[in-house]
Amino acid sequence: MARRIEKTEDEWKHELTPEKYRVLRKKGTELPFSGKLLGNRKDGIYVCAGCGNELFSSATKFDSGCGWPSFSAPLADDSVERKEDRSMFTVRTEVLCEKCGGHLGHVFEDGPQPTGLRFCINSVSLEFEERDERRGAGKKDGKSN
């Protein structure tokens, strides 16, 4: 994993949209079924909207019906960090970007096999890079199909 990104709150506020700042830096969430990437069915990689760290593959994305993009596993074990979250009067596991510490969402143990995990991730925390199989390059696309 590359060196951890450290920025001041003012730097993050300047670089991120207000909504991305609220979710990534202040641990907010978007309304269910409102995210731009919820219905995305394209092949590619989901990266952190704060720093570009590669987080999830479209190969692990599934429709959980929960209202947020769901993945059964991160792209690599060291691409995300998991942390106990005792907010909202319950104990959950928060998922953060390992590179910048941005809040992505939560992980639950009710996902499909073989992992049994459901990474429930805010669309606003992600950008999508579509695969271009012919050239081996990608292009950023935040639009859903």
- Give the start-to-end residue ranges of the domains of the chain: 9-132
Give tens-digit pLDDT for 114-133. 999 999 999 999 999 997 64
**pLDDT score, position 32:** 95
- 48 catalytic? Reply is no
What size, in residues, is the chain? 145
Q: Which pair of tokens denotes residue 69?
A: 């993009």
Active-site option among 51, 97, 100, 120: 120
**pLDDT score, position 89:** 80
Return the amino acid letter for 17: T
Q: Which pair of tokens denotes residue 93?
A: 């596991």
- Dist CA 134 CA 139 (whole Å): 13
C-alpha dist (Å) from residue 64 to 9, 33, 49, 70: 34, 11, 22, 6
Q: Which CATH architecture has domain 9-132?
A: Beta Complex (2.170)
Which are the contacts of 76, defined by CB distance < 8 A and separation ≥ 6? Answer: 54
Residues of the chain with pLDDT under 70: 1-3, 132-145
